[in-house]
Structure 1
Amino acid sequence: MAKLVLLHKADSIYDDEPDSVYDFPRVYLKAAQDAVGDWVVYYEPVKAGPRGYFAVAKLERIIERPGTEGRYLALIAPGSYLPFDTEVPRLLNGRPLEQALTAPDGSARRGGLVQQAVRHLPDADFARIVDMGLPEDLEHQEARRYTIHPETLAEDAAVFQRPVIERLSRRPYRDVAFRRKVREAYGYRCALSGLQLRNGGGRPEVQAAHIRPVEKQGSDSVRNGLALSGTLHWMFDRGLISVAEDGETILVSRNKVPGEVVDRLLRPGGKL
């Protein structure tokens, strides 16, 4: 097995959905086959945008793309995709984060391997990139994020250093990473009510819900998330409210949810 970097841009001619499938030509087939059962890091090329390295996932298997000669699909293991909490820059102090992209003088190489859509990634480079994008102490950071008087607390205990792969597989860690990204994406505002509430310490009173549940192979990508207040999250999980296929219309189980509740809790117009 081997780890990979996969280049992805939103307007690509390839049929990519980073949390589920990666479309690529035959020239990269051998490299992709090497990585089956191992992890990949997603990278946005310079001309596509500013993100650099932005997510991690596990490659499950490779299949031929139906109806397209010479194209293949790398299928992502369900539940493995995780966006970075902080997008990792392409260069750090002018030096690439990948050994293979670094010239002898420490500067960035140009052309060649840099432009390949699929390239091998040594374990050490993988760990370094993931540590920058998904820090070991992310759960601790979130727990302390809205502490009013941190200076009055006792000295923090050292964070237990878990191996990178173990961290990426832990549900509590993934839940924190998912929650941070989804709430940020919605501006800490409930998508169904439109309300942005915070308690006295500044903590946002909004939660992160999976549209497709994790237990039904829903991913931890932001596109599979909704920021919801506690009550609406409870109703959403029980099927009392949901979102239509258009991704914006709020659906309500009218035989179970009284009209006055709809009027009080949901945005006028019935749209996210």
Structure 2
Amino acid sequence: MAFGVFIHRADSIYEDSPAERYQFPRPYLTRAQQTVGDWIVYYEPRKVRGTRGYFAVAKVKQIIPDPGAPGMYIALIEPGSYLDFADPVPFGSPGDPVERGLLNEAGAISGRAQSAVRPLSAADFNRIIELGLGGDDRLLPRDDDAALSPPSDNFVQDERAPFPFEQERDRISYYGSRIVRKQIFRRVVLRAYDERCAITGLKLINGGGRAEVQAAHIRPVEASGPDIINNGLALSGTVHWMFDRGLIGLDDDLKILVSRQINDPDGVNAMINKSGHALPPLRPADRPHPHFLQWHREHCFKS
């Protein structure tokens, strides 16, 4: 097992779904196989306009031949392992990249930087994870649950000092916990929507400087919904409650659907922003995926 980097871009010609699968050609098979059972970091190339750099982490479950494309393979992502970074990590300067393993003996960026699938050292993995999953406390939930805070700077409580590879596993296990994933998902979603409710259009900040808006899963975690930005919406508390109970839904164009089972349709329609459509996120690539919207309409929305 080994850490790795998978290059991905939203306009890729490959049939990728970062939280579920990553398609790649045969030349990368040996490198990809080395990551099975371990963690990879997704990277968006610098030539992509508005690149996020290193933007997410996920665990590779299995590598299989692509049944629909000869010569292609698919890295299947372990369900529930994908996690967007709270703070996307830039590549760094040519002489000081975050991924130090890309430097050659002369201290310059080597040709390995062009590889769509490449190995990642434990030190580089740890550095990227620390930067990507840091945090902006202003975007945390309103309640100051002590359980949301890491137990120490190193996240390790043993009396003995663990070996480096043990520290990496302990750290990623910490970030993989449900309560921390929920915290990071909130940061990512609120930032994507500028802390504004997608349905009402309101941006309310309380006296403590925290946004009065929640991060809603379109397909819930309990129904195998991933913690990915395309499965998220920023919603006020009341709207979140209605969305989860199927009283409000969205079509693929983000048109707001109001259930006929609502007992006060006039009041609900008065809450909706005048466009009649949910406000999209700031980045088009963060837009809710039709796959998740369809699931909500079929399994939750009460038409």
> Into which bin does the TM-score normalised by the smaller protein fall?
0.7 to 0.9
Classify 1:144/1:243 alpha carbon distance in 2 versus 1 (closer, same or farther; 3 Å): closer
> Offset of 1:77 from its aligned partner?
1.5
Distance 2:81 2:150 in 1: 29
SS at match of 2:243: helix
The 8 Å contact of residues 186 and 227 in structure 1, kept in 2 or not, is answered as yes
Partner residue, 1:82 = 83
**Displacement after TM superposition at 1:99 (Å):** 3.8
1:68 CA displacement: 0.9
Aligned to 1:271, the other structure's residue is in SS state: coil
Distance change >3 Å, CA 257–CA 191, structure 1 → 2: farther
Contact 2:101 / 2:124 at 8 angstroms: preserved in 1? no
Partner of 1:271: 277
Deviation for aligned residue 1:203: 1.9
CA distance in 1, matches of 2:255, 2:186: 23
Secondary structure of 2:22's match?
strand
Aligned partners of 1:144, 1:231: CA distance in 2, in Å? 16
Alignment of 1:123-138 (within 5 A): 123-135=122-134, 138=135
- The separation in 2 between residues aligned to 1:22 and 1:61, in whole angstroms, is 11
**Partners of 2:103 and 2:110 within 8 A in 1:** no
Q: Deviations over 1:61-90 (max 9, x none)?
A: 122222211011111112211111111121
Other-structure match for 1:110 = 110
Amino acid at match of 2:182: D
Establish whether residue 252 from structure 1 lines up as the match of residue 258 from structure 2.
yes
Q: Tell me, yes or no, if the aligned pair for 1:96 and 1:108 is still in contact at 8 Å.
A: no
CA RMSD of aligned residues (A): 2.5
Measure, in 1, the Cα distance between the counterparts of 2:141 and 2:266. Answer: 38
Following superposition, the deviation at residue 247 of structure 1 comes to 4.4
Indicate conservation of the 8 Å contact 1:5/1:118, yes or no: yes
SS at match of 1:248: coil
CA displacement 1:128-151 (0-9 Å, x = unmatched): 11011112xx4867559999xxxx
Q: Greater CA deviation, 257-266 or 79-88?
A: 257-266
Identity among equivalent pairs (%)? 51
Q: Is the 8 A contact 2:215 2:233 kept in 1?
A: yes
Equivalent residue pairs, number: 259
Which residue pairs with 1:150 in the alignment?
A: none
**Structure 2: gaps spanning 5 or more residues:** 156-169, 279-303
Check the 8 A contact 1:241/1:250 in 2, yes or no. Answer: yes
Q: Distance in 2 between matches of 1:13 and 1:144?
A: 38
Assess, with a 3 A threshold, how the Cα gap between structure 1 residues 99 and 195 changes in structure 2: closer, same or farther.
Answer: closer
Indicate conservation of the 8 Å contact 1:40/1:56, yes or no.
yes
The residue correspondences of 1:19-98 to structure 2 (distance < 5 A) are 19-49=19-49, 50-91=51-92, 94-98=95-99
Aligned residue number for residue 192 of structure 2 = 185
Q: What SS does structure 2 have at the residue aligned with 1:29?
A: helix
Q: 1:210 to 1:175 in 2, by over 3 A?
A: same
1:4 CA drift (Å) = 0.9
CA contact (8 A) 2:141 2:183 kept: no
> Contact 2:140–2:183 at 8 Å: present in 1 too?
no
1:168 to 165, 175, 185: 175
Contact 1:207 1:229 (8 Å CA) reproduced: yes
Report the alpha carbon displacement of residue 192 of structure 1 after superposing the two structures with TM: 0.9
Cα distance in 1 for residues equivalent to 2:182 and 2:136: 9
Give the distance between the partners of 2:243 and 2:11, measured in 1 at CA: 32
Report deviation, 1:264: 2.4
Give the drift of 1:158. 7.1
Question: Which is further off, 259-268 or 210-219?
Answer: 259-268
Equivalent of residue 235 in structure 1, options 242, 249, 253: 242
Runs of 4+ in 1 over 6 A off after TM superposition: 144-147
Instruction: Name 2:166's counterpart in structure 1.
Output: none
Letter in 2 for 1:219: P
Match in the other structure for 1:153: none
Q: Of 217, 222, 225, which residue of structure 2 is paired with 1:215?
A: 222
- From 261, 268, 271, give the equivalent of 1:262: 268
Deviation string for 1:102-156 (max 9, x for gaps)? 1234x33232x11110001122211111011112xx4867559999xxxxxxxx9
Show the counterpart of 2:152. Answer: 159
The 3-state SS of whatever aligns with 1:74 is strand
Structure 1 residue 191: Cα displacement: 0.6
Q: Any unmatched runs of 5+ in structure 1?
A: 148-155
